Amino acid sequence: MGGDSIIRQIFTKPKFNADRDIPSLEGKVALITGASGGIGKACALELAKKGCHVFLFGRSAEKTLPVIEEIKTISKNDKVEFLEADLMDLNQVEQAADKFLERGLPLHILINNAGIMHQPYKLTKDNMESQIATNHFAHVVLTNKLLGVIEASAPSRIVNITSILHENPYKHGINYDTWCDEKSYNAEDQYGTSKLLNVHFTKKLQEKLDAKAQAEGKEGKVYVNCVHPGVVKSNLLRNPANYSFFFDLSFKIIGISTEHGAITQLYVATNPSIEAQNIKGKYFTPYHQIEETSAMARDEKLINKSWEWTEAQLIDKFKPDWKWAI
């Protein structure tokens, strides 16, 4: 399972070439979180080169605005914009989503790319543990807010960035009751848990969208998939806690470039085969291979529990009237 994808990324070359294989995206609109650097920036550039109207969603104007100018220059596309929000503040996430909605634009591609990894224990403004807040809840809130326009823009795609480490949450599984407790906190296990939640969210959201379309007598044309981009040389490990010298060394030895790390999510976000073959609710690994998830990631009872737990936590910690849009 996980080991196969690591071997592939070391010993194989991607067949997908962004310049050659991404179709024209003129008239399309995309939003990418965490696009001021790393694989998010690489994705934004490739989409812009194909004529897409791209929104870079992030917290730092100082970091993102120069990136936008760089992308505009390279792509010769002026339709690249900044949406400012800190993913550790869910009110900011919703407000930024509202600013996008006020533009009256469609949204054909949403790439939930931003993430933090193996961080020291910290609570966000919403009193949520920072890794699960950033990697899971912020993207749930953003996607939920934009879901109506994504459905109206169909065929459209949602790409959730997960990780091979979804296979490694806490030994007992998801810490639903203690996820904000400092005493039980382990940075590596918490990261794995956040990535497992990404897979659960992908699968349940796709199920809900398809059920709604069927009930309305329509063909479901929103494609939700999740991606492990590979072991990438990026700045994901900012201020890491509890990781070993060997873990760091492995990133440096087997890590792929950000350009190669972006390939699988670019494929899932743009390749015509996703729609032609009706590929939904799947887990992709480098390079653009569908792979089986861990047993916990495909456990229907856990998937349903994570969906219900997510809503309950957002009601408790964010907004008493929060609810799923689907």
Q: Name the residue with tokens 């329509």.
A: 218
Closest listed residue to residue 203, CA positions, set 281, 91, 274, 99: 281
Q: How far is it, in rounded angstroms, from Cα 121 to Cα 233?
A: 23
φ, ψ of residue 215 to 5 degrees: the values are -65, -30
3-state secondary structure 18-66: HHHHCCCCCCCEEEEECCCCHHHHHHHHHHHHCCCEEEEEECCHHHHHH
Burial class (CB in 10 A: 0-12, 13-18, 19+), 16: middle
Structure tokens at 321: 């009237």
Assign 267 to helix, strand or coil: helix
For 189, what's the count of Cα atoms within 13 Å in the CB-facing half-sphere?
14
Yes or no: say if 124 and 131 are a contact pair by the CB < 8 Å rule.
Answer: no
Yes or no: say if 100 and 292 are a contact pair by the CB < 8 Å rule.
Answer: no
* Longest Cα–Cα distance in the chain: 55
Burial class (CB in 10 A: 0-12, 13-18, 19+), 246: exposed
- Angle at CA of residue 241, ends 244 and 226, nearest 5°: 90
Instruction: Give the H or E element holding residue 290.
Output: strand 289-290
Supply the residues annotated as catalytic: 191, 195
* Sheet of 53-58, strand order: 80-84, 53-58, 29-33, 109-112, 156-161, 222-227, 283-285, 289-290
